[in-house]
Amino acid sequence: MQYKIEGTPLPVVLCTLEAEETMITEKGSMAWMTPNMEMKTNSNGGLGKMIGRAFAGEAMFQNLYTARGGQGLIAFASSFPGSIIAFPVTPQQGIIAQKSAFLASEAGVQLSVHFKKRLGAGLFGGEGFIMQKLSGNGMAFLEIDGHVITYDLAPGQQMIVDTGYLAAMTDTVTMDIQSVKGGMNVLFGGEGFFNTVVTGPGRVWLQTMPESQFAASLIKYLPSKG
């Protein structure tokens, strides 16, 4: 499979598949394709995998697209203004991402639910208790809200991230929360009660416009009921 990512601020990934190669995606992610791309919808792993994907914010069923009779092309478009990142998933290196980040992948990639190890990090870390984990073997594509900034953290190196701005991280990175210090900072600083702390080694992807922040910025312009 060959690919290229084009467009901004609504990017698309164009995937060229050789005969019998398969891509996996969620409902509604396919934008266009050549006529020889065959679609098949199934649970892709049984009831347990279906429930896990539902907890991780994804559809219970997945669509599989296979090139038949020769080379085929399929495009997967972002659903929100932002970026698409490509990540080569291997048995030695997976990725953990925010809910609904998964866009598409090669057939060897497995999507499952990931529970944050510490309850506090899950409840207050900005993206809920449940994230999603990609493992297996193959190229995967994730949606990032807004522009993406990448940091490679050395062992023990940390980054403090405001709520919702952590988009993804390699599965070698650990995550926890820390409370904002100082009563005045908490009450009037506008940054909430907690920050997310990520610790290397590994790579983290930070996003500049979380959907939650974007929605909050529009609320004041919406007409109130009554």
Residues 120-179 pLDDT 10s: 544 554 445 578 999 999 999 999 999 999 999 999 999 999 878 999 999 999 988 777
CATH code, 2-219: 3.60.160.10
First vs last Cα of the chain: how many Å apart? Answer: 54
Strand order in the sheet with 202-207: 109-115, 130-136, 95-97, 166-170, 202-207, 148-153
Q: What is the pLDDT of residues 177-224, one digit of tens each?
A: 777 664 444 444 445 567 789 999 999 999 998 776 656 566 666 776
Q: Around Cβ 144, how many Cβ atoms within 10 Å?
A: 27
H helices, E strands: number in the chain: 4, 19
- pLDDT per residue as tens digits for the range 73-88: 999 999 889 999 999 9
Backbone angles phi, psi at 19, to 5 degrees: -55, 130
pLDDT over 70 (residue 59): no
**Inter-residue contact 71 to 19 (CB < 8 Å):** yes
**219: CB partners within 8 A, 6+ apart:** none
> Averaged over 101-119, what is the pLDDT?
83
The token duo for 90 is 């291997």
Write out pLDDT tens, residues 20-46. 999 999 877 899 999 999 999 987 555
**Which residue, among 169, 164, 154, has the nearest Cα to 200 in the 3D structure?**
154
The whole-model pTM stands at 0.81
pLDDT higher than 90, residue 67: yes
Domain boundaries, the chain: 2-219
53: which 2 tokens?
């994907």
- pLDDT over threshold 60, residue 111: yes
